[in-house]
Structure 1
């Protein structure tokens, strides 16, 4: 029979070590914060609306891979990839580029200038007036203005920067390093040597393995793979399942081996490699998250944009917010294979759209058709006139 009083907290013995969670607590690397769902370290993709889409983690969890598929000849996925690389360089991460030369860094967007008017109009609230909410929601910031402003985390500095596509990333703003990997064999560099039996994918995995094994445990690495299997960037042999599938399997193994250091974002042109092909389906299974961008056809009958002026600023803002394509969510990165991110399951049933502007970047929101003239508040031709003539007092 126990004589210990119930509802009494037992204190730790003198000299007893602290719990393992408290002993391992340390300062996170720049650009890293815990997930509000399970505490897993996450990093920003450089696009605030995309961070909010990733299964409620508020960012891309470390140790996961995101595959962005795109139809047509547009390059919206390439812009998302540039945001991802620029965010890594600004945060001081190591960015590894596949398939492109080092000059690709000159295409990265620059940091946007802070909005002084909005900061002056909305001063920070006093500490005593600050609303007390749960810590996991407090870290996410205001999702309504996340696409137009810089999201910050008070404990670890800026989490997601705001970029301007009209500018170029200056070397002074880069704290990280861009590491181009070995060439994957563009035709402009000549045909692949028959004497060389080493696959370019194996060289990429070996490069990543060397960098990860020799780096500090707190150093963050980002893998950038634009336009995977594009014929102008890769040898024809790279499209064989015996080449690309082992590469993705090895990349998945590296992500699981370094779950707190490595993330990857890949873009795939599905106009050349449709999702109905078995190879693409296997590639999707080897990635943790899969989203698809479907650009909307341009309207040739649309009037040209008005010249820049103060009166046409609101009209230009509405034009920038007009949806330029649809977004489908096929798979979202979760914490483990048993599940996770259940609050985001409704995204698979919703119709999402995206729009791109130079100042706001890529914005993802729910797709809704504009009201048709003559329905729900719009007057049909001749209807308003008849009502006015029939009113008598």
Structure 2
């Protein structure tokens, strides 16, 4: 019968020319699979959409960026800060130090080499320092290695599902790869290697088209940089009157510059990132100029310094936050109309803490009411009972809020 076939006949064997077996065997074999390009140091795909992402040098800030665990390439980040403090400058220094350690091209606008000499020194690997050991020994539980990136329950800014900085389990051959994020010490200075790609551009001072020269220099430098080299552009203290001329602060020039900078980011979506610090003492957020600057930026964060408490009030509190953090816009997801609430959790207030070894963003809560009453002394306002020291029966005015 036709349904049976002899066992000693090889299927698709080469037959006489013109037969089906000869035609099938002479078909060209598929080309061998090409080896993937080696990973770029300091770049890894986003857990959200796979977009290439780099670290800002601050692990707590990386965990807030809409689940990307870093700043996506092709995006800009604006840091606003009222008052005369320079906490935003510390974030930019972490960002620049991380780029130098990773071998990225770093461009600083408005400052010279002295600004780079003040970068914090390298301490170690931020991911390696976050590894924990179990109580039974030095080895971690092998049964839970799949869930390491989920973090502990309730840990981090975003709760139990926040992005953790503990790396997933990798083969032994890849354990020597370059870390994604490092830790730095603000009290020491980073040793700049001779091979570091650094460029310093002066702040614009021309009266007509002040930013045209700066944009031309940035475009030329990006075109001459290899496509596999990430590029970090830092603009500290934008609109600072000590650095920028009044013509550079005019809205028609500044907004055109931000438009052109956004076009460069879209032209180099897998290579360029920009971080800007903007002191809002002379240009508050309520002005139209700053609102347009926020619209033209991919991510916006505001640092609100808190008044420093006296030594008697801060006694016993070694780590007191220096200010509050407001995230007004997040890269990629923020411009699509979502991601802000999911990244911050259910209405958590954020604060930042600057110590000698870290710039950390954490959840913030007011101190208990009992401590405030004790610090107020015996002459404080009456409590819930309606009677205070040296006062009689509470009147109607005392009971009104």
Please state whether the residue corresponding to 1:238 is helix, strand or coil.
Answer: coil
In structure 2, the partner of 1:287 is 297
1:373 maps to 370
Cα distance change, pair 125–371 in 1 and its aligned pair in 2 (3 A): same
Q: Is the 8 A contact 1:330 1:348 kept in 2?
A: no
- Residue 84 and residue 365 in structure 1: after superposition, are their counterparts in 2 closer, same or farther (change >3 A)? same
Instruction: Please say if 1:28 is aligned against 2:39.
Output: yes
Cα offsets for 1:127-150 (capped at 9, x unmatched): x82523269759xxx969xxxx99
Q: Could you give the per-residue CA deviations for residues 353-388 of structure 1, whole angstroms, max 9, x where no partner exists?
A: 1111002x111111112223279xxxxx9xxxxxxx
Deviation, 1:336, is 8.5
Counterpart CA distance in 2 for 1:301 and 1:46 is 31
- Equivalent-residue separation in structure 2 for 1:225 and 1:347 (angstroms): 30
2:120 to 106, 109, 117: 109
The higher radius of gyration belongs to: 2
The question of 1:125 aligning with 2:143 is answered no
Greater relative CO, 1 or 2 (CA 8 Å, sep 6+): 1
- Report if the CA contact (8 A) 1:329-1:348 is conserved: no
Find the residue that maps to 1:247 and give its secondary structure: helix
Q: In the alignment, what sits opposite 2:10? A: none
TM-score by length of 2: 0.73
What are the superposed Cα offsets for residues 21-61 of structure 1, whole Å, 9 maximum, x if unpaired?
Answer: x8694222100111011111100000000000101100000
Alpha-carbon distance in 1 for matches of 2:129, 2:229: 36
Cα distance change, pair 215–272 in 1 and its aligned pair in 2 (3 A): same
Number of corresponding residues: 330
Q: What residue is the counterpart of 1:244 in the other structure? A: 254
1:268 maps onto 2:268 in alignment: no
How far residue 260 of structure 1 moved from its aligned partner, in angstroms, is 0.6
Task: For residues 266-288 of structure 1, give each alpha carbon's deviation from its aligned partner in whole angstroms, at most 9, with x where no partner exists.
Answer: 01111111011111111000000
Q: Quick one: which of 251, 255, 259 aligns to 2:265?
A: 255
Match in the other structure for 2:233: 223
Change (3 A) 1:213 1:283: same
Residue 205 of structure 1: how far off its partner (Å)? 1.4
Please name the residue that 1:166 is paired with: 187
| Alpha-carbon distance change, 343 to 301 in structure 1, aligned in 2, over 3 angstroms | closer
Q: Is the 8 A contact 1:28 1:218 kept in 2?
A: no
| 2:348 corresponding residue in structure 1 | 350
Q: Does 2:180 correspond to 1:180?
A: no
Give the Cα–Cα distance (whole angstroms) in 2 for the partners of residues 124 and 245 of structure 1. 55
CA contact (8 A) 1:43 1:61 kept: yes
Give the deviation of 1:17 after TM superposition. 6.5
- For 2:217, what is the secondary structure of its paired residue? helix
Cα gap change, 1:216/1:46 in structure 2, threshold over 3 Å: closer, same or farther? same
Structure 2: state its 5+ residue gaps: 1-26, 158-163, 373-377, 379-401
Q: Which whole-Å CA distance do the structure 1 matches of 2:305 and 2:50 have between them?
A: 35
Contact in 1 for aligned 2:334/2:340 (Cα 8 Å): no
Which stretch shows the higher mean deviation, 154-163 or 57-66? 154-163
Do the aligned residues in 2 keep the contact of 1:89 with 1:175 (CA within 8 Å)? no
Shift in CA distance, 23/289, structure 1 to aligned 2, threshold 3 Å: farther
How does the TM-score come out when normalised to structure 1? 0.74
Question: 2:309 maps to what in 1?
Answer: 299
Partners of 1:329 and 1:118 in 2: CA distance: 25
Q: 1:114 to 1:65 in 2, by over 3 A?
A: closer
Change (3 A) 1:98 1:348: farther
> CA distance change for structure 1 residues 67 and 372 in 2, over 3 Å: closer, same or farther?
same
1:81-114 Cα distance to aligned partner (Å, 9 max, x none): 1000010011100111011112111111001268
Contact 1:94–1:177 at 8 Å: present in 2 too? Answer: yes
On the 8 A contact 2:109/2:236 being kept in 1, the answer is yes
The structure with more helix, counted as a fraction of residues? 1
C-alpha separation between the residues in 1 aligned to 2:252 and 2:183?
Answer: 40
Aligned to 2:327: 329
Q: 1:242 to 1:325 in 2, by over 3 A?
A: same
Q: Give the root-mean-square deviation of aligned CA atoms.
A: 3.5
Match of 2:108 among 91, 97, 102: 97
